[in-house]
Amino acid sequence: MPKHREDEHYLDQYGQPVQSFMKAIKFYTNDDDYAEWLLGRYGPANPQNYFPSPIEITYKELEVDVDANS
């Protein structure tokens, strides 16, 4: 996802700044999609100020006390 080099905000799919990476545009394929979007219609005015910031989202199952929920 595109992250600003100095301000550290992300961009949504329309090139608008967002603080949460959960609201930022995500690319699930190689950097080609990122480069095409960055230089395209919705990309930022100064694409050199952004870089592709990788993220990792992990999920884990929470322990639940079954007796407490009965």
Cβ count within 10 A of residue 62: 4
pLDDT digits (tens, 9 = 90+) for 9-61: 999 988 899 999 889 988 877 667 888 888 888 888 899 999 888 888 888 88
Predicted local confidence at residue 18, as pLDDT: 94
The kind and range of the H/E element at 18 are strand 17-18
What does the radius of gyration of the chain's CA atoms come to, in whole angstroms? 17
Predicted local confidence at residue 52, as pLDDT: 85
The kind and range of the H/E element at 34 are helix 31-38
Tokens of 8: 């550290």
DSSP state of 19: S
Question: Does the reported pTM lie above 0.95?
Answer: no
Predicted local confidence at residue 62, as pLDDT: 86
